[in-house]
Amino acid sequence: MMKKIAAVLVIASFLTAGCIKNKNTACGFTDSNLIAPTAEVDSLQTLLQDSSITASPNAAGFYYSIQQQGPGTAIVNLCSNVAVSYKAMLFNGTIFDSTATGQLASFQLGQVIAGWQKGLPLINKGGDITLYIPPTLGYGSNSVTDRNGNVVIPGNSYLIFHIHLADVQ
């Protein structure tokens, strides 16, 4: 009798295993423990004060200002797919990137700079946030160039991103 019960349990487990979705959703991205050095955080704070910008500090070393929390879905992890509209600029006001009006950029959160990875989860779908990011959480000491080799973002730049989180999946 025990053998029959064990056999039924084994068969039942095989049958139900085929109906269970694979929970292995590893996408290869891991949360970084990256924290901006004190000197960068101090410089960022000075830039904000000099620009009369009020923003909240984050333990990782960036600052942020939430304009709208957003009523929708929260970002779960770096594997979350997000769709955003954004405008990116340097502190001198130079816009170096943005989505076209009415267009969205879509990607997995783990594909972007650390400042976005740490800052974007502070809002939900439908939310708006401005991130003030020091070099370590941005592009570091590396200059970013366009296709023609022109420097678009100088190394060690402090960055401002106005972001609308349109969708989270």
**Sequence-separated (6 or more) residues with CB below 8 Å from residue 39:** none
- Each residue's pLDDT, cut to its tens digit, for the chain (169 residues) gives 433 333 333 333 333 333 333 344 557 888 888 999 999 999 999 999 999 999 999 999 999 999 999 999 999 999 999 999 999 999 999 999 999 999 999 999 999 999 999 999 999 999 999 999 999 999 999 999 999 999 999 999 999 999 999 999 9
Break the chain into its structural domains and give their ranges: 2-168
CATH of span 2-168: 3.10.50.40
pLDDT of amino acid 25: 52
